[in-house]
């Protein structure tokens, strides 16, 4: 059974990828410092090493101990406004983390890597939909640090024979269709999570940032991709690399845009109740529209998305956000599940 190191596997997307790896017959091993991830997001039986991916020795020893043949690198810091306020922390975590991972991989002889990149590397695209060879002009430290990490991986690929697939995700949303995992951090800022909170009565209204863009209804347009489809794209990328495929940098979206108001209507349909909203000025740094040219990931990786519909994304997100709270721990119960 092929073993795969998953950095950031206790987070939102990484935990979904762990499930997809298990579903596809791979054996994941998670390395996560639990800075934003949660131990309970790692399924029972999956080894969890708690530590910093920037620690090359830890990466190498983990790869060797578990005889991993490839790595998926999700561990990062990713809140855009936070990256503007704390650029040094973002550059450190995203660049030093990728450096530590690469050093550890090269030391342990692991030369296949799937990397979490982002549409934020493009900044404000000149033309839509945006192709992978469009100019990369990130407009915040988050996007800049991810672009630098892509370049670092490219240099390691050339010098050390690493082959990689960098997936540039567009707007990731939704939750595991079987309800096994989803976004776990409180204080959501992403549109679909915010709208679900409003539908569930946890906030009074959704603030719509701008209705005067040059888009069909004036609100911002994004290419929302279901997190479970994103996870299977990672498995497809892994398979490509294990079969000796060449390095690739690919957009990961569906190639269709939805406006903020269309998202709110979809949440209303799923929830069966109105989602109040108020119009506010544009949010600084928001592009009017971001939509992927997403042919490459299908053609080159054979990716077949299964949940390619806004209604599906929204209903899975709503089901996850509205799930019953975990029962309180009884006195004497261990606070954390032990891991291998
Ligand atoms: N969520 C999105 O909309 C989105 C969009 C584009 C790209 N991405 C990328 O996807 C990846 C995963 O994002 P997510 O939404 O699952 O975020 P998340 O915060 O839920 O997950 C990140 C995980 O990495 C861990 N981590 C962070 N720094 C670490 C370090 N130095 N060492 C070890 N573990 C560390 C965290 O504890 C967490 O479990 C990130 O690389 C992010 O840049 C996310
Ligand atoms: O309360 C809200 C939240 C968002 N929006 C709008 O909804 C759209 C989507 O916003 P959001 O869900 O915050 O995502 P983005 O700002 O598009 O950024 C996401 O998608 C990028 C890739 O496209 C990733 O790089 C980022 O990490 C990720 O946060 C934008 O038009 C926002 O202006 C609102 O109107 N109200």
Residues 100, 156: contact at Cβ < 8 Å? no
Name the residue at shortest CA distance from atom 4 of ligand 1: 172
Ligand 2 atom closest to the CA of 79, numbered from 1: 27
The string over 283-296, giving b where at least 16 C-beta atoms fall within 10 Å of a residue's C-beta and e elsewhere, is: eeebbbbbbbbbeb
Per-residue pLDDT tens digits for 116-153: 999 999 999 999 999 999 999 999 999 999 999 999 99
**What pLDDT is stored for residue 185 in this prediction?**
84
- The answer, yes or no, to whether residue 329 has pLDDT greater than 70, is no
Helix (H, G, I), strand (E, B), or coil: what is residue 299? Answer: helix
Tell me the CA–centroid distance for residue 279 and ligand 1, in Å.
30
Taking the mean position of all CA atoms in its chain, how far away is CA 231?
A: 9
Look up the pTM and report it: 0.95
**Residue 336 has what pLDDT?**
36
Q: Which ligand 1 atom is at minimum distance from the Cα of 185? A: 20
pLDDT tens for 18-66 read: 999 999 999 999 999 999 999 999 999 999 999 999 999 999 999 999 9
Q: H helices of the chain, where?
A: 12-23, 56-65, 80-85, 87-91, 97-108, 141-160, 191-199, 227-242, 260-271, 295-301, 310-321
The answer to which of 232-241, 273-282, 285-294, 322-331 has the lowest mean pLDDT is: 322-331
* Closest ligand to the CA of 253: 2
| CB 122 near ligand 2, within 6 Å | no
Could you give the residue numbers annotated as active site? 142
203 lines ligand 2 (CB under 6 A): no
- Say what the ipTM of the complex is: 0.97
Give the distance (Å) from ligand 2 centre to CA of residue 59: 32
Q: Is the pLDDT of residue 337 over 80?
A: no
> Per residue in 93-116, pLDDT tens?
999 999 999 999 999 999 999 999
Residue 335 has pLDDT above 60, yes or no: no
Determine the average pLDDT of the residues in 259-265. Answer: 98
If you take atom 11 of ligand 2, which residue's CA is the nearest one?
A: 190
């Amino acid at each position: 059974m092929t073993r795969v190191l998953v950095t950031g596997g206790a987070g939102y997307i990484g935990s979904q990828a762990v499930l997809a790896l298990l579903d596809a017959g791979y054996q994941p091993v998670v390395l996560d410092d639990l800075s934003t991830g949660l131990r309970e997001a790692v399924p029972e039986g999956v080894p969890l090493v708690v530590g910093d991916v920037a620690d090359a020795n830890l990466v190498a020893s983990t790869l060797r101990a578990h005889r991993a043949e490839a790595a998926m690198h999700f561990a990062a810091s990713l809140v855009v406004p936070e990256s503007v306020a704390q650029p040094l922390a973002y550059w450190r975590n995203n660049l030093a983390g990728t450096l530590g991972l690469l050093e550890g991989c090269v030391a342990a002889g692991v030369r296949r890597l799937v990397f979490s990149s982002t549409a934020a590397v493009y900044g404000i695209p000149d033309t839509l939909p945006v192709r992978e060879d469009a100019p990369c002009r990130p407009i915040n430290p988050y996007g800049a640090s991810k672009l630098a990490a892509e370049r670092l991986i490219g240099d390691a690929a050339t010098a050390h024979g690493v082959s990689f697939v960098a997936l540039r995700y567009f707007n990731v949303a939704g939750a595991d269709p079987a309800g096994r995992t989803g976004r776990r951090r409180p204080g959501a800022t992403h549109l679909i999570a915010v709208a679900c909170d409003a539908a569930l009565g946890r906030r009074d209204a959704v603030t719509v940032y701008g209705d005067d863009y040059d888009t069909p209804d004036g609100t911002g347009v994004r290419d929302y991709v279901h997190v479970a489809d994103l996870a299977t794209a990672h498995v497809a990328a892994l398979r490509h690399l294990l079969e000796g495929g060449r390095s690739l940098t690919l957009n990961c979206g569906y190639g269709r845009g939805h406006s903020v108001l269309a998202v709110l209507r979809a949440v209303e349909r799923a929830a069966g109740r109105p989602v109040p909203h108020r119009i506010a000025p544009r949010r600084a740094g928001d592009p009017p529209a971001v939509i992927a040219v997403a042919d490459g990931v299908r053609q080159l990786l054979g990716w077949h998305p299964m949940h390619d519909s806004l209604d599906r994304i929204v209903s899975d997100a709503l089901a996850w956000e509205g799930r019953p709270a975990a029962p309180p721990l009884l006195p004497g119960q261990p606070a954390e599940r032990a891991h291998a």
